[in-house]
Structure 1
């Protein structure tokens, strides 16, 4: 049985939300009181085995007050605890532990910046999304690795054709040579584990990160390497060739 103060709050909550004047019966009230007492009893054992700081953190998310149902509080806290356990015990045969930890930290950072908290249910959902993206990217990477160098060469040709007519242009000896010049448009590499802008593609950049490269035009983004992969696949299909085989020759 809950402490007297908690029991009193439960009765007050039930009598207010299940008021007889609103069509509820005393039987309805008695049933709801029993439900609330049962939920409270389950709630106090919900955090058994959970570190104290994590328990306090999750209880803060649940934000139980006198106007809250213990049933709702229990359900919310239970979901948070299950998400916390899923995060801390996660193991994947395809993804190494270091990458998993980095993805979890990236998910925490994103959730914290958006919600000003670290709610584990949102972290788990975000982590799952990042994990799916990483696995998809790795599958694509294995396919395009044989013509990685070709992708880089093609992208550099495209990027070097950018022109801005408003840029002042001087010759190498400092003489005014008219307006406008060509320049190499930078590639932004953006993923849960990387955010960097490059004007020259570093040799050490992994293929996983390479194919996420994009041109950022304000709010619009063009995933240039993904587009080039589609062009290559289109050429292979249309002309019945294999760039992998040609590359071997």
Structure 2
């Protein structure tokens, strides 16, 4: 069983994923304002994060942050689904943090 995340490490993982997840943009989305007038093309959106609970159940998170009641194990499992592909975003962010700690002296304070 993986070790428990410290509060500060979990908070940082969640914050970094939130930044990344809000960087999605689709130029084909049409935006319409009041009265049906077309305002602009394209829209940014929050890409949904999928997490796997310990019982194997999958949960999509569309809110701008991961709820506190999601377990550390589920947080670590977070990924973005792209059709048949997936990007294990939380695992990737955790590996980046470990790299920065080991190679560049990053200290995540509690």
Instruction: Please give the TM-score of this superposition, normalised by the length of structure 2.
Output: 0.85
Cα 1:183–1:214, aligned 2, differ >3 Å: closer, same or farther? same
Partner residue, 1:196: 59
Separation in 2, partners of 1:155, 1:202: 13
Query: What does residue range 60-75 of structure 1 map to in structure 2 within 5 Å?
Result: none
User: What is the total number of aligned residue pairs between the two structures?
Assistant: 105
Partner of 1:163, secondary structure, is strand
Do the aligned partners of residues 156 and 208 (structure 1) sit closer, same or farther apart at CA in structure 2, a change above 3 Å counting? same
Write the deviation string for residues 122-154 of structure 1: whole angstroms up to 9, x where unpaired. Answer: xxxxxxxxxxxxx2xxx2x42x33310111110
Structure 1's consecutive aligned runs of 4 or more residues displaced over 6 angstroms after TM superposition are: none
Which of 13, 30, 39 is 1:177 aligned to? 39
Gaps of at least 5 residues in structure 2 are none
- Equivalent pair of 2:22/2:45 in contact (CA under 8 Å): yes
* 1:219 equivalenced with 2:81 (yes/no): no
5 Å-filtered alignment, 1:2-81, equals none
Cα root mean square deviation, aligned: 1.7
- TM score, norm. by length of structure 1: 0.40
- Which one has the bigger helix percentage? 1
Quote how far apart the aligned CAs of 1:170 are: 2.8
- 1:145 is aligned to 2:10: no
Greater Rg over alpha carbons, structure: 1
